[in-house]
Amino acid sequence: MGMSGIWVRRLALASVVANVGIIVTGGAVRLTASGLGCPTVPYCTEDSFVPTRELGAHGVIEFGNRTLTGVIGLVAVATVVAVWRDRPRRRDLVGPAVALLVGIPAQALLGAVTVLTGLNPWTVMGHFLLSMILIAAAVVLWVRSTESPGPTAAVVPPPLRLLTRGLLAVLAVVLLLGTVVTGTGPHAGDPESPRMGFDLAVVSQLHADAVLLLIGLTVALWAGLLAVRAPERVRRAAVALIVVELAQGLIGFVQYFTDLPVLLVGFHLLGAALVTVFAVRLYLTMRSRLPVAEQALAVTRANFA
């Protein structure tokens, strides 16, 4: 692997960490009621790009979250440059790298709309879900960057790969319902921010049901992997996901029955990001790159087919 390839791998990992970090700092903004700490965009106030003393800690927290968005943007640009300069150029890396680069201004624009609409819960929902999509893209880029180039082959039977796709779909529903719970409950980001108006007990129950389904599917998938004697790395990835899901579920139940303490809600946001990381990683472990000899054989067969 050349120097460009090494930098791609490092920058891809940095993208994963930074995009998870933006979830945590964004949560800190909301949980400390700092959502309007910088009441205008792109400046923090009408006369200052940075927070002023009058804005206090809320301005610093909100501005810190904006600054991290800029850092993520720089990492995304550097990643695209490294992918483009790498030789031979990896087409399978170009897609997720460009997606991350395009996603950053889209995220910044959505964040601006969120501020200008007074933290409307629907735009806050979109802001969070877009972050999860970018985390998934960063994980794809990171995992692929650690592999050699070339075609892939599945290492588990098709039904288990299909089950994993279903698991990812359920995870998307879990994340969506989680944002609805957040948009309905307290910790709006600002005392004057609107709420969605749903019954908190009902949407929380729906979210909990989806979480239980997700955990059940993951356990079933793990049992299937054991039955077919899947590669150890796939089984380990499934176990890791189960552990993260159980921890996330426990935090969710405890925070609900303790009236949503700020610290636990923050950990729950981090857990949502980590579940996404481990779920996408599990799916990607279910295939492996073909050895060079097999790649050449596959090309030869294709030419004579």
Residue whose entry in the numeric block shows the structure tokens 């948009």? 183
Please state the pTM of the whole predicted model: 0.85
> Which of the listed ranges 104-108, 111-115, 271-275 does the model predict with the highest average pLDDT?
271-275
Instruction: Give every CB contact of residue 170 below 8 A, 6+ residues apart in sequence.
Output: 210, 213, 214, 217
- 102/76 Cα distance (integer angstroms): 9
| Mean pLDDT value of segment 66-74 | 81
Q: Is 189 left (phi over 0), alpha (psi -120 to 50) or beta?
A: left
Mean pLDDT (whole number) for 242-252? 93
pLDDT tens track for 149-166 = 778 888 999 999 999 999
Q: How far apart are CA 56 and CA 54, in angstroms?
A: 5
22-63 per-position pLDDT tens digit: 888 877 776 666 556 666 766 666 666 666 665 667 667 777
- Residue 305, pLDDT > 70, answer no
Average pLDDT on 110-121 reads: 78
- Stronger pLDDT, 160 or 291, i.e. the higher one: 160
User: What pLDDT digit, counting tens, does each position of 178-235 carry?
Assistant: 989 888 877 555 566 677 778 888 998 999 999 999 999 999 999 999 999 999 999 9
Which helix or strand (DSSP H or E) is residue 153 part of?
A: strand 152-154
C-alpha 185/C-alpha 188 separation (Å) is: 8
Residue predicted with more confidence, 289 or 134:
134
- In sequence order, what are the residues at sequence separation of 6 or more whose Cβ sits closer than 8 angstroms to the Cβ of residue 164? 221, 282, 283, 286
Determine the 3-state secondary structure of 152 from DSSP: strand
